[in-house]
Structure 1
Amino acid sequence: MAPLLPLLLLLPILLLLAIADALPPACSEVVTCAGQVVHYPFSLNSSESDCGYPGLDLFCEDNATLILPVKSHRYRVVGIDYLAHTVAVSDDDISKYANTGGCLRLHVNLTIDYTNSWLQLTQSDSNVTFLYNCKKSISWLPAVELRGCQQQDGKKSYVLPDGGITGTEAYEYECEEVVVAPVLGLHKEKILPLTNGSFGEVVKAGFELMYNAHSQQCDGCERSGGWCGYQRNDTHGGMNFTCFCDNGPAAARCNQWCAT
């Protein structure tokens, strides 16, 4: 029986290694990118098994740009307020805008499925509307022509505060595309009426999104002291909800017998 003694002594170490292998990188780990502190419920450069809310996967590029993808479109993270549960972002398209006469060309209307999304716009947000490549000129205020966007065929583009035009009117002016950009209402109010140089700074300043743990699964997991996340199901494919705990992953919550 003596040869079994070393194995018995090694057993606790092997169990600890197994638990460590089962866990993703520490959910409580704090990392930085582009001067921003990133930690749970956000994940950074997430793998197939990571903790954090779905849709809050951030990507760090050259430690200079922090990106939040929303429906495959890129938004630059300006700041994260973990106490208020808000993240300030700006459309990454703005990075391609040249202040010296370039055309501020946005491509995506932000749409959020409030039933399933972890993100939602806040009451601090407002809108600015862009009308691109319009065949007919818009001469009435508060529409402002976008400098640098005029086409060789004479088509022009415009920007105006939210509510200044309807879909019917946009059709009337034969505009090829209408993009509504969220902005912070406070910033927009300071520069109204819009001028050809002011709207670019308003869009660049971005807007706020609130993240909300509306999932009963995550709520129960977090109240039990865990971090909610997902792990790949090697048998059936897809991702299974997982509650990551200090002593390893659980199906629903940590210390289930004392959680309420």
Structure 2
Amino acid sequence: MPPLRRLLLLLLPVVLVLFAEADASPSACRNATCGDVPVAYPFWLIDNSSALGCGYPGLGLRCVDNTTLILPFRTHQYRVLDIEYGKHTISLTDADMQHSDTNSSCPHLHANLTIDDNSWLQLASSDSNITFLYNCKSNSSLLSSTSAVKLTGCGAGPEHIGSSYVFLDGWITGEAYDYECETVVVAPVIDAHKKAMVDAHGGLPPADGSFGDVLSAGFELTYSAHSDKCGKCERTKGWCGYRHNETSTTMDFTCFCDEGPTKSHCELGPGISNSNY
């Protein structure tokens, strides 16, 4: 037998084992944590190469310093405050707030959160918006009748020749871009937190209001986790995941079992019925 063919035959069992291990999601799916925070389906840890397939594409989380979970979303990052798996919600705050003084009279954000209708994540009914307009060239008198709050402490110098403002949702008259601002950022917040800030001042908050505190308190996104399928999978001792369809570019729900992945649930053994699961 030629040496090359002999070598290939020797390596074939190793290759098959590697493919089998790659096909069956590892125990990392069951035991993933960041510090003492569990990371479970439909989320997964990006930094763990063996966790690929443990959750939805696009819902991978980074574990920073084994203490902080970060959700990369499009071109920006959001810090995870909480995940309520029973309610299918994840609470986030803009990662920019980690590097900003929450008591600052001018919390500076850099990115809008844009969510498509077909996204895995959607804004929750508990959310509302705050709109920040940074370094606007228009005269402040143009904004005096719009119930805008002019922010203080937004910097000085040649690059800050204009003024910065914040609008609370529902109080904007006209398009924000008409004010010739350098940056316009619409930030989601918890509506109850925003209303509490307004009520505390009997109307519009002052320029040094607690906008940073409201932003740091975050907002909520909801997700659909195929809960019926996942529940059946978990009740049969499997763990839920998502993997590429072999015949298309779509992703399919997968129940990972000790004996390998299935589309529904795990087998409980000879003589044991799955009918109740």
Q: How do 1:198-237 and structure 2 match up within 5 A?
A: 198-213=210-225, 220=229, 223-225=232-234, 226=238, 227-230=240-243
SS in 1 for 2:182: strand
1:188 alignment counterpart? 194
Rounded Cα–Cα distance in structure 1 between residues aligned with 2:136 and 2:64: 36
Code of the residue aligned with 1:205 in structure 2: it is A
Query: How many residues of Structure 1 are paired with residues of Structure 2 in the alignment?
Result: 238
C-alpha contact (below 8 Å) 1:58/1:69 kept by paired residues: yes
1:81 matched to 2:94? The reply is no
Rounded Cα–Cα distance in structure 2 between residues aligned with 1:224 and 1:34: 26
SS in 2 for 1:159: strand
1:130 alignment counterpart? 132
1:247 matched to 2:259? The reply is yes
SS in 2 for 1:51: coil
What are the superposed Cα offsets for residues 143-189 of structure 1, whole Å, 9 maximum, x if unpaired?
A: 222222144343011112112214x4423322222211000011111
Rounded Cα–Cα distance in structure 2 between residues aligned with 1:18 and 1:180: 46
Rounded Cα–Cα distance in structure 2 between residues aligned with 1:130 and 1:35: 35
What are the superposed Cα offsets for residues 108-167 of structure 1, whole Å, 9 maximum, x if unpaired?
A: 2111112x211111111011110111112233463222222144343011112112214x
Code of the residue aligned with 1:123 in structure 2: it is S
C-alpha contact (below 8 Å) 1:133/1:151 kept by paired residues: no
SS in 2 for 1:127: strand
SS in 2 for 1:79: strand
Rounded Cα–Cα distance in structure 1 between residues aligned with 2:87 and 2:230: 21
Code of the residue aligned with 1:75 in structure 2: it is Y
Rounded Cα–Cα distance in structure 2 between residues aligned with 1:33 and 1:221: 22
1:30 alignment counterpart? 31
Greater CA drift, 150-159 or 178-187: 150-159
Code of the residue aligned with 1:187 in structure 2: it is H
Rounded Cα–Cα distance in structure 2 between residues aligned with 1:124 and 1:155: 33
C-alpha contact (below 8 Å) 2:177/2:184 kept by paired residues: no
Code of the residue aligned with 2:168 in structure 1: it is P
Any stretches of 5+ residues in structure 2 without a counterpart?
1-15, 199-203, 268-272
C-alpha contact (below 8 Å) 1:222/1:228 kept by paired residues: no
* TM-score (normalizing by structure 1): 0.77
1:144 matched to 2:149? The reply is yes
Rounded Cα–Cα distance in structure 2 between residues aligned with 1:188 and 1:228: 36
Rounded Cα–Cα distance in structure 2 between residues aligned with 1:255 and 1:34: 30
What is the CA distance between 1:240 and its match in structure 2? 5.9
SS in 1 for 2:192: helix
1:12 alignment counterpart? none
What is the CA distance between 1:49 and its match in structure 2? 3.0
Q: How do 1:82-101 and structure 2 match up within 5 A?
A: 82-99=85-102, 101=104
